[in-house]
């Protein structure tokens, strides 16, 4: 959940209006915070899409080992290929992902943008 400053940070799972790549629409969905930028109420979150594990996999997808502990209603995975920047004020905290799964996701992100 949010850090000591009350704001979402790396590893937090939030519900956000995630943009589609064609820019036509946004859908409220869970996302994993991998970074935040800027101080104060207007800061931004860098988030990765979380999707149902039932969906067809993409290269770089990483399963969330315990969806219930992460605050998700169904088995899910993090789609590391889908990153967005969202205003923090639009994020609702849902849960947290930590440990080896978060480390694996951050390694995948570093490899992608490396």
76-107 per-position pLDDT tens digit: 999 999 999 998 988 999 999 989 999 999 99
Query: pTM of the predicted model, to two decimals?
Result: 0.89
Domain 12-113, CATH number (from 3.40.640.10, 2.30.30.110, 1.10.10.10, 1.10.3720.10): 2.30.30.110
List the domain boundaries for the chain.
Answer: 12-113
Q: Give the CA angle between residues 38, 31, 5 to the nearest 5°.
A: 40
pLDDT digits (tens, 9 = 90+) for 16-27: 988 776 666 578
Choose the weakest-confidence range: 30-34, 40-44, 83-87: 40-44
Measured between alpha carbons, how far is 76 from 62 in angstroms, rounded to an integer? 9
Question: Band of the pLDDT at 114, cuts 50, 70, 90?
Answer: confident
Q: Name which of 28, 14, 25, 30 is nearest 79 in CA terms.
A: 30
pLDDT at 4 over 60: no
């Amino acid at each position: 959940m949010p850090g000591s400053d009350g704001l979402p940070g790396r590893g937090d799972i939030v519900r956000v209006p995630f943009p589609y790549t064609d820019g036509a629409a946004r859908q409220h969905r869970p996302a994993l915070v991998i970074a935040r930028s800027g101080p104060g109420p207007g800061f931004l979150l860098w988030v990765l899409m979380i999707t149902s594990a039932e969906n067809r996999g993409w290269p770089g997808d990483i399963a969330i080992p315990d969806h219930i502990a992460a605050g998700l209603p169904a088995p899910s995975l993090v789609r590391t290929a889908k990153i967005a920047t969202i205003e923090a004020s639009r994020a609702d905290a849902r849960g947290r992902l930590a440990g080896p799964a978060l480390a694996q996701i951050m390694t995948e992100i570093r490899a992608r943008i490396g």
